[in-house]
């Protein structure tokens, strides 16, 4: 199944980079974007509830953005009790010695799958004026589908056309990992990575493609073994310029990219 794409370094002195972004919107609060329940406008763009724009420091650099994983409170004891009730309700005998710790293991396993590691989305001035596509290919990810709380996993290809700032390459993988650490749909995960990159890096274009296998589809229900779901989100120049778009899909090695 292929989804159609969803619509949508700074000078040393003295002028700070303009916070324009690939999709023509001003950046919202990145911290808010990263939270469990970001405020979204009608287009799904995260918005800053108090309208505060990221401040720019005296060197014209954007401060690093802390992606702290939100404010989720985890009560492992309650999760363990609930897991025991859940399994018992399904008729699973938890009195067998080898299963006694299963509810606790289950609680810890889900907590681990949903634990976002905090990191800083540090950007750097694009001093060399690099203006070609930057692409991290085949970033592995796994998350839980929010409809069944079953795993889905695959790879993400994340790219951008640099503007005044560039990003440490490992941050592209960290960004995917960050947004995967919550119950998700593949469509939302794809858009969140694209929009967070756009809002915080202000590149000329952003492209995200995700290819994943959903166990709720392959291991139950229709049991469509081997079926892969592909989603993409293109913003800015990677959306509007056919040549950049084609280059992105070619470098990402997506065999049948959605039509433009």
Partners of residue 204 on adjacent β-strands: none
CB of 92 to Zn ion, least distance (A): 21
Which one, 39 or 150, has the nearer CB to Zn ion? 150
Q: Which stretch binds Zn ion (CB under 5 A): 186-194, 195-203, 215-223, 245-253?
A: 215-223
Work out whether 216 is an interface residue with Zn ion (CB under 5 A): yes
Which one, 72 or 148, has the nearer CB to Zn ion? 148
Work out whether 3 is an interface residue with Zn ion (CB under 5 A): no
- Rounded CA-CA distance 161/23 in Å is 12
Write phi, then psi, for 243 (nearest 5 degrees).
Answer: -70, -45
Which one, 195 or 214, has the nearer CB to Zn ion? 214
Task: Residue 150: name the closest of 84, 220, 202 by CA.
Answer: 220
CB of 58 to Zn ion, least distance (A): 48
Q: Look at strands 134-145 and 151-161 and give their pairing.
A: antiparallel
Q: Look at strands 183-184 and 134-145 and give their pairing.
A: parallel
- The site string for Zn ion over 127-156 (x = CB under 5 A, - otherwise) reads ------------------x-xx--------
CB of 150 to Zn ion, least distance (A): 6
Tokens of 122: 């540090």
Work out whether 100 is an interface residue with Zn ion (CB under 5 A): no
Write phi, then psi, for 226 (nearest 5 degrees).
Answer: 85, -5
Which one, 68 or 187, has the nearer CB to Zn ion? 187
CB of 216 to Zn ion, least distance (A): 3
Core vs surface per residue 143-172: b (16+ CB within 10 A) or e: bbbeeeeebbebbbbbbbbbbbbbbeeebb
Which one, 149 or 169, has the nearer CB to Zn ion? 149
Q: Give the residues lining the site for Zn ion (CB under 5 A).
A: 145, 147-148, 216
């Amino acid at each position: 199944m292929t989804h159609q794409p969803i619509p949508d370094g700074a000078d040393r002195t003295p002028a700070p980079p303009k916070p324009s972004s690939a999709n023509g919107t001003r950046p919202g609060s990145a911290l808010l974007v990263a939270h469990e329940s970001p405020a979204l406008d009608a287009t799904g763009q995260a918005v800053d509830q108090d309208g505060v724009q990221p401040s720019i420091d005296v060197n014209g650099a954007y401060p690093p953005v802390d992606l702290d994983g939100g404010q989720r409170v985890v009560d492992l004891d309650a999760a363990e009790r609930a897991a025991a009730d859940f399994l018992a309700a399904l008729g699973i005998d938890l009195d067998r010695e080898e299963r006694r710790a299963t509810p606790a293991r289950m609680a810890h396993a889900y907590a681990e799958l949903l634990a976002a590691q905090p990191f800083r989305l540090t950007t750097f001035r694009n001093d060399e004026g690099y203006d070609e596509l930057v692409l991290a290919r085949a970033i592995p990810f796994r998350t839980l589908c929010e409809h069944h709380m079953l795993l889905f996993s695959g790879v993400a290809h994340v790219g951008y056309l640099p503007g005044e700032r560039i990003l440490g390459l490992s941050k592209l993988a960290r960004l995917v990992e960050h947004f995967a650490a919550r119950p998700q749909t593949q469509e939302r995960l794809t858009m969140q990575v694209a929009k967070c990159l756009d809002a915080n890096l202000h590149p000329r274009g952003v492209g995200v493609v995700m290819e994943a296998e959903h166990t709720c589809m392959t291991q139950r229900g229709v049991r469509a073994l081997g079926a892969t779901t592909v989603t993409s989100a293109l913003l800015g120049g990677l959306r509007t310029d056919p040549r950049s778009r084609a280059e992105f899909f070619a470098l990402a090695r997506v065999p049948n990219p959605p039509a433009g």
